[in-house]
Structure 1
Amino acid sequence: MTYDSLAGSILNFTCNFGFLINKYCNNLDRYNILYIMHDNYSHKEDGIDYVDENIPGPEDQTNEYISLIEKFNSQLAHSCDCNFKCKENYCSCLKISGGSNYTSHIVSQYVEIFKVKEQETGLHCYPIIECSQHCKCSETCGNRVVQNGPIDTLFVTTCEDVSKGLGLFTREFIPKGTFVCEYAGEVITKSEALRRQKFNQTHNKMNYIFCLNEHVNGIVIQTFVDPSLFGNIGRYINHSCESNCVIIPVRVDSPIPKLALFSCVDILANGEITFDYGSSYLTSSKEIISESLNERKICLCRSSNCRGFMPYDVY
């Protein structure tokens, strides 16, 4: 993000997978993963370290942080016994996901691509669980998409509206349903997220913190990702009230989800990649919205459905 929403972004993603979240085992060798993420991007700005996947935030001695590290040092316990490519009726990973996560599209004799499966309620409404290092399927299995890394057509440049700063663009056409990139950075605790948000507000700094809310059997599981100092190419994606990408949580090995961006419409060559920084504020009480109007920033997306202000959500 190159301009901030004051309290970060909150994505309300409703799903039911409580049986899965608690089904993981401790494994201190988690980082010896077999899948290879192909990410050749880098940052041109000083003071920002490039990471292609989420990393744990700064250490502290709170129970909140200890719980976070336990998840980082854990793996999901499921795996499949598929011989080559996973099939919906047999693959245990796909059964957990409620069916196939991606659909196959043959581009040429030698090229096959996979798009996120579109359903009546949108691109995807189940939690996506990709095959892991414990699965017997091949590396070309259609249930291994996000773990392979971002598409290679992205570039960062100054937006046409220079007041927006930098933005993320694509050199080539991106079909609807394509995995674009991950929004990766430091995974931090809620306490650390609130501390950083207050610091950003006080010092008039940009706020990159993304808060994912997952609703599981009446419980809300929150994941906070901050790519401000450690992040990948996704940190440059700007907000739009009429965005062309959505974030879907995807799990690969770890109980901590990846924030995966998928195109929700066709994106033309040289088009800017955008997503909606927040949504729950639209259903907030009028009192909360009224009290925050003096703190909210003007939206610069210039879309036909622009709401006028940047999303304002609370953690």
Structure 2
Amino acid sequence: MERDICPDSVPFSSSLDKSKVLNVKPLRSLVPVFPSPHGFTTFSPPQVPPFVCTQPSGPFPPGFSPFNPFFVPPDSQQHPQTPTNQPGGFGFNHPTQTPSVPLPSFRTPPPPAARAQFAGAGNGDEGSSKKSSRNREAGINKGESVRSVTEEDACNDNRIWAAPYVSSFNMHITDAETTSNGEKQKSKSHKRVKCNQDTKLSLSAVGDIFMTFDARQRADGDRESVTHILTTFDALRRRLNQIEDAKEANPGVIRRSDLKAGAILMNKGIRTNMKRRIGFVPGVEVGDIFFFRFEMCLVGLHAPSMAGIDYMSIKFEQEEEPVALSIVSSGAYEDNVGDGDVLIYSGQGGNINRKDKQVVDQKLERGNLALERSLRRATEVRVIRGMNVGHSNSAVKVYVYDGLYQIQESWIEQGKSGFNVFKYKLVRVPGQPDAFKIWKSVQQWKEGSTTRVGVILPDLTSGAETVPVSLVNDIDDERGPAYFTYFPTLKYLKPVKSIISSFGCNCRGPCLPGDANCSCVSRNGGNLPYIGTGIIVSQKSLVHECGPSCSCSANCRNRVSQTGLKVHLEVFKTKDKGWGLRSWDPIRAGAFICEYAGEVVDKIKGDEDRDQDEDDEYIFDAARTYDSSFQWNYVSELLDEMPGDTNETDKTSLPLTISAKNVGNVARFMNHSCAPNVFWQPVLRANNNESDLHIAFYAIKHIPPMTELTYDYGIIQSETHSNNARHRRKICLCGSSKCRGGFG
């Protein structure tokens, strides 16, 4: 298509190599730099406006130079050169670009300070797209003034989350809210808050300092800060989910508590590893798992909240190029293939409005270009693999950090849909702990394609549990633990009257969140203790579950600890701690694992019975003292709530002693750790005023497959044991940095 040229436009030579002004980077990722003509000196006084319009032929204001993208001094013109294939390039010719008409405008050159070694526009985020179609795809109300979630959307250092996104939890699918007369409401302006990089931020929980973040910790994290941020995020997400569950469901509303929790923490500056980097991320370990993309954003592992390729521009010598930092392989593209230490990764793009199918050819831009440059520069790329876990109707996506990879080769091939796809072969850097390999091994064990080495019994419960529990020893020749009778719950040797009222509810069907007429909801402070996925919201002094005296249905969500095992557990022989317990499946933070089963024993005993207790390694004593610094619940101040029972953790008011020496379940094999990944919670089931108190175990954090499950045994502080010379404190072998040296 031809275009008329203004008669005042500056002419350009037909022999000029116009490709010199082109750049393969997307325009929105570039900070414009306008060259001055040969021999022309520019000057930019502070008081002069940054943009001035004038005629192309002049006159020009002082300090301004004409912007003519095709102007080259006659003595510096060169003949076009045939481009050569760079090492690691794709080896295809780029189409010829049509020259643009010179723009009749002039701009001052940027100051030298603006040219930093690391370009801040990672992932093309020099500006944000506001297309309403993408807002609709993300389910965000147009009137909320929220930055749209695009393919390059990332947790950038300069990102400001809009106030309505923080205050309004519901994400409306409709493009705009309408008033009663059908007219669209105008979006209101909201204040935005941006955190100062030098400001120290602290979280308070029940009046105590939870943790303080300064500028250094936000730039470079460690294991403690990463763990704290992930714990804070998930606790806040659970509470937001609980609040929304109690509200009446609205058609067309998507409840995304993860996005709301992430926005709150971003606005508060509660994040770490904000400094973008190639290679390992401080505090994030190979094998860590994530159930939400926002978790990876907050700890600096992978910045984009949607895109699969995270990249940034880096200056190599005198040339600035985009390089890839991390990729997420989650099956969003039809041609992704990965097994073991090799990953064949498909480039991004080409699947417009389609999640799993190509509809156009992919282009060498953005993340695809960054991967190609990483191949040429031989830089390492972090790889996160996403996998669907669970049954097809209830599967969830879990992301595992598989460590560093290097790109070995790249090419273009025709995908299954008939369109061109960029392909990259990545090979894992040797010497790293296994992560994805473990997932693949477990999958093969479940499918029966390979046999688990060292299996003694495929199910030591003999069918007492709905999920089998394997007994495995791949360490030595021991054939199993001492004999005991497997029993999945508690045995009260004699009836015990409850000291707390436990009459049941009169609900028809399952108990509903926020139901003021449900006695079980009222006893839990007006909220059910679990969200819809069966995750416990907060650690409390006592959780009231529905029980035998309740008229609600068996599928009531307030019966979580009564439904048996939900993950495939394995009792295995450890190297130095006897038998231990771990899971074949990933476990989400707050998920129920099992209860401590056994025989309830009387605390009032003679000396002979106490001597027997000293030899009983399977005693659970709820009266022991525990680490008071353990904080797992949400920080109520983040939601402007007053601290209440949601932060109570005192369990000593309901003493309970259980012996699993002769009768018990898998919990008897759980070892002690001073830095555990499991906590225990007293649960009282409604049973007509008879004592039906149980001890349930829940995950403190996301637990990867084949990770040993441990909890804190505590320390006996009773006067009887302190005066008993025969009581021996056991040596702790947990090996954590917080080890107290002993327990019991």
TM-score range relative to shorter protein? 0.5 to 0.7
Residue 296 of structure 1, CA deviation: 1.9
Measure, in 1, the Cα distance between the counterparts of 2:573 and 2:483: 19
Amino acid paired to 1:239 = H
The aligned runs of 1:273-284 (5 Å cut-off) are 273-278=709-714
Residue 185 of structure 1, CA deviation: 0.2
Among residues 512, 516, 522, which one is paired with 1:95 in the alignment?
Answer: 522
Amino acid paired to 2:699 = S
Residue 213 of structure 1, CA deviation: 3.6
Residue 212 of structure 1, CA deviation: 1.8
Aligned to 1:125: 540
SS in structure 2 at match of 1:228: coil
Aligned in 2, Cα 1:56/1:172: closer, same or farther, shift over 3 Å?
same
Once the two structures are overlaid, the 10-residue window that deviates more, 192-201 or 44-53, is 192-201
Contact 1:147 1:252 in 2 (8 A): no
Aligned in 2, Cα 1:299/1:52: closer, same or farther, shift over 3 Å?
same
SS in structure 1 at match of 2:555: coil
Aligned to 1:209: 619
Residue 253 of structure 1, CA deviation: 3.4
Amino acid paired to 1:87 = P
User: What CA deviation, in whole Å up to 9, does each residue of 1:36-64 have, x standing for no partner?
Assistant: 9846559864530111111134xxxxxxx
Aligned in 2, Cα 1:56/1:138: closer, same or farther, shift over 3 Å?
closer
Among residues 45, 52, 59, which one is paired with 2:488 in the alignment?
Answer: 52
Aligned in 2, Cα 1:251/1:169: closer, same or farther, shift over 3 Å?
same
Residue 86 of structure 1, CA deviation: 2.0
Measure, in 1, the Cα distance between the counterparts of 2:562 and 2:712: 23
Contact 2:545 2:684 in 1 (8 A): yes
Among residues 98, 116, 141, which one is paired with 2:536 in the alignment?
Answer: 116
SS in structure 2 at match of 1:145: helix
Measure, in 2, the Cα distance between the counterparts of 1:183 and 1:193: 25
Aligned to 2:579: 166
SS in structure 2 at match of 1:103: coil
The aligned runs of 1:31-110 (5 Å cut-off) are 38=466, 41=469, 45=481, 47-57=483-493, 68-71=494-497, 76-90=502-516, 91-98=518-525, 99-104=527-532
Task: Structure 1: give runs of 5+ residues left out of the alignment.
Answer: 1-35, 58-67, 105-112, 119-123
Amino acid paired to 1:152 = V
Measure, in 2, the Cα distance between the counterparts of 1:213 and 1:256: 17
SS in structure 1 at match of 2:701: coil
Residue 82 of structure 1, CA deviation: 4.2
Aligned in 2, Cα 1:174/1:196: closer, same or farther, shift over 3 Å?
farther
Among residues 697, 700, 707, which one is paired with 1:271 in the alignment?
Answer: 707
Contact 2:547 2:686 in 1 (8 A): yes
The aligned runs of 1:290-309 (5 Å cut-off) are 295-309=728-742
SS in structure 2 at match of 1:138: coil
Measure, in 2, the Cα distance between the counterparts of 1:137 and 1:146: 16
Residue 192 of structure 1, CA deviation: 4.5
Contact 2:594 2:698 in 1 (8 A): yes
Residue 88 of structure 1, CA deviation: 2.2
Aligned to 2:34: none
Aligned to 1:261: 697
Measure, in 1, the Cα distance between the counterparts of 2:606 and 2:560: 29
Measure, in 2, the Cα distance between the counterparts of 1:194 and 1:211: 18
Aligned to 1:176: 589
Measure, in 2, the Cα distance between the counterparts of 1:194 and 1:242: 33
Amino acid paired to 1:172 = D
Amino acid paired to 1:226 = S
Aligned in 2, Cα 1:197/1:173: closer, same or farther, shift over 3 Å?
farther
User: What CA deviation, in whole Å up to 9, does each residue of 1:68-113 have, x standing for no partner?
Assistant: 52449xx932323244442223321011122221112xxxxxxxx2
Contact 1:80 1:131 in 2 (8 A): no
Residue 197 of structure 1, CA deviation: 4.0
Contact 2:583 2:706 in 1 (8 A): yes
Structure with the larger strand share: 1
Aligned to 1:140: 555
Measure, in 2, the Cα distance between the counterparts of 1:38 and 1:223: 27
Task: Structure 2: give runs of 5+ residues left out of the alignment.
Answer: 1-463, 472-479, 625-647
Aligned in 2, Cα 1:193/1:153: closer, same or farther, shift over 3 Å?
farther
Measure, in 1, the Cα distance between the counterparts of 2:583 and 2:554: 26
Measure, in 1, the Cα distance between the counterparts of 2:616 and 2:602: 19
TM (norm. structure 1) is 0.66
Measure, in 2, the Cα distance between the counterparts of 1:46 and 1:240: 23
Residue 206 of structure 1, CA deviation: 4.4
Aligned in 2, Cα 1:47/1:279: closer, same or farther, shift over 3 Å?
closer
Once the two structures are overlaid, the 10-residue window that deviates more, 220-229 or 238-247, is 220-229
Residue 220 of structure 1, CA deviation: 4.1
Measure, in 2, the Cα distance between the counterparts of 1:195 and 1:79: 44
Measure, in 2, the Cα distance between the counterparts of 1:268 and 1:139: 30
Measure, in 2, the Cα distance between the counterparts of 1:55 and 1:192: 19
Aligned in 2, Cα 1:245/1:293: closer, same or farther, shift over 3 Å?
farther
Residue 274 of structure 1, CA deviation: 0.5
Aligned to 2:670: 237
The aligned runs of 1:190-209 (5 Å cut-off) are 190-192=603-605, 195-201=608-614, 205-209=615-619
SS in structure 1 at match of 2:558: coil
Amino acid paired to 1:305 = K
Residue 232 of structure 1, CA deviation: 0.8
SS in structure 2 at match of 1:94: helix
Aligned in 2, Cα 1:195/1:275: closer, same or farther, shift over 3 Å?
farther
Aligned in 2, Cα 1:70/1:127: closer, same or farther, shift over 3 Å?
closer
Contact 2:488 2:665 in 1 (8 A): yes
User: What CA deviation, in whole Å up to 9, does each residue of 1:227-258 have, x standing for no partner?
Assistant: 01110111000000000111101122342311
Aligned in 2, Cα 1:307/1:84: closer, same or farther, shift over 3 Å?
closer
Contact 1:193 1:224 in 2 (8 A): no
Among residues 599, 602, 623, which one is paired with 1:189 in the alignment?
Answer: 602
Measure, in 2, the Cα distance between the counterparts of 1:193 and 1:262: 34
State whether structure 2 residue 642 is matched by structure 1 residue 223.
no
Amino acid paired to 1:259 = I
Residue 142 of structure 1, CA deviation: 1.5
State whether structure 2 residue 659 is matched by structure 1 residue 247.
no
CA RMSD in angstroms comes to 3.4
TM (norm. structure 2) is 0.29
Aligned in 2, Cα 1:245/1:196: closer, same or farther, shift over 3 Å?
farther
Contact 1:42 1:233 in 2 (8 A): no
User: What CA deviation, in whole Å up to 9, does each residue of 1:159-190 have, x standing for no partner?
Assistant: 1xx22000010111101000000111000101
Measure, in 2, the Cα distance between the counterparts of 1:155 and 1:129: 29
Aligned to 2:437: none
Residue 279 of structure 1, CA deviation: 5.0
Say how many residue pairs are matched: 239
